[in-house]
Amino acid sequence: MTALPDRTDRRLGLVIDLDTCVGCHACVVACKGWNDQGYGAPLSDQDPYGAAPQGTFLNRVHSYEVTPASGPAQHVHFPKSCLHCEDAPCVPVCPTGASYKRAEDGIVLVNEDACIGCGLCAWACPYGARELDLAAGVMKKCTLCVDRIYNEALPEEDREPACVRTCPARARHFGDLSDPESAVSQLVAERGGIDLMPEQGTRPVNKYLPPRDRDGWGEDSDVLAPFLTPVAEEPQGFLGWLDRALGKL
């Protein structure tokens, strides 16, 4: 049924630290790798070695530049995957019931056997979290690695989403955001985690930790500057003659 659950027992999700993400795309590769084996249709590529390669990914890393009113511009790497919204707009639009949100942990999933590939859920998502797999003809989205997090065949440290497990900068955190005592909730409270596009009314579970303030270009921040001031303002010797000669022309 594509009605959203009134409430979910837990709210499993990710906390993504925009301050520490280095933009290495390891999470993108780990996600693609894990989701090529096991759960649902594998993520396909089209024309992978040709002139216009493209493929299905459940996680992508954008890059933005933020220019403050004063001071240096800042470069922010921005990983984006499904935010497992509490008020997920992609779920009620589904005509077949393939798209659903689990009442027990809040994960938004697609039953690929019931998906007709109409694409309406991807239209309804403001974040671009859903991609229709062009080979399988069904909608793909982040499963929060539902086949890892509850998988008792895996060592305990591997029971978290592939993107979180692989991140070398520890910029991705996984946990229950409905529990105020959980590590992820503490992190969100401490760092002022935010929702993406709050005006869309989706109430995303995933939170983003804003970048910390950088050192400015203030008086004493640049300790080398005094040693690098130019010693000769006027050109000397041959360059000086050239400068004067050209100036007289």
Partner 1 sequence: MHPARSLLAFTTLSGMGFGLLFWLGIDPTPPKGWAALVFFAIAYALCLGGLAASSLHLRRRERALRAFSQWRTSWLSREAWGALAALTVSGAYALPLLIGVGVLPLGWLAALLSLATVGATAMIYAQLRTVPRWHHWSTPALFLLLSLTGGALLSGRVLTCSLLLVASAALQAWVWWDGDLRFARSGTTLASATGLGDRGTARALFPPHTGSNYLLDEMVVVVGRRHAAKLRVIALVLMSGLPLVLLYLPPPHLFGLLALVSHAAGVLVSRWLFFAEAEHVVGLYYGRR
Interacting residues with partner 1 (CB under 8 A): 1-3, 18, 25, 28, 52-57, 60-69, 73-76, 78, 80, 89, 92-98, 114-120, 122-128, 131-132, 134, 137-138, 194-201, 208, 210-211
Least distance (Å) between residue 150 CB and partner 1:
27
For partner 1, give the closer residue by CB, 116 or 242.
116
Helix (H, G, I), strand (E, B) or coil at 34: helix
* Rounded Cα distance, 249 and 246, in Å: 5
Q: Hey, is 238 helix, strand or coil?
A: helix
Of the two residues 64 and 217, which places its CB atom closer to partner 1 in the complex? 64
- Min dist CB 48 to partner 1, Å, is 10
Whichever of 190 and 234 has its CB closer to partner 1, that residue is 190
Smallest gap from Cβ 155 to partner 1, in A, equals: 31
We find the least distance from the C-beta atom of residue 57 to partner 1, in angstroms, to be 7
Task: Give the C-alpha separation, 212 to 47, whole Å.
Answer: 40
Least distance from C-beta 117 to partner 1, angstroms? 3
Nearer to partner 1, 53 or 240 (CB): 53
Question: Which of 175, 176, 177, 149 is CA-nearest to residue 162?
Answer: 149
Measured in residues, the chain has a length of: 249
Q: Which residues pair with 100 in a beta bridge?
A: 109
Cα separations (Å) of 7 from 46, 52, 86, 103, 178? 39, 44, 8, 7, 11
Spatial distance between the Cα atoms of 165 and 124, rounded to a whole number of angstroms: 30
Nearer to partner 1, 74 or 186 (CB): 74
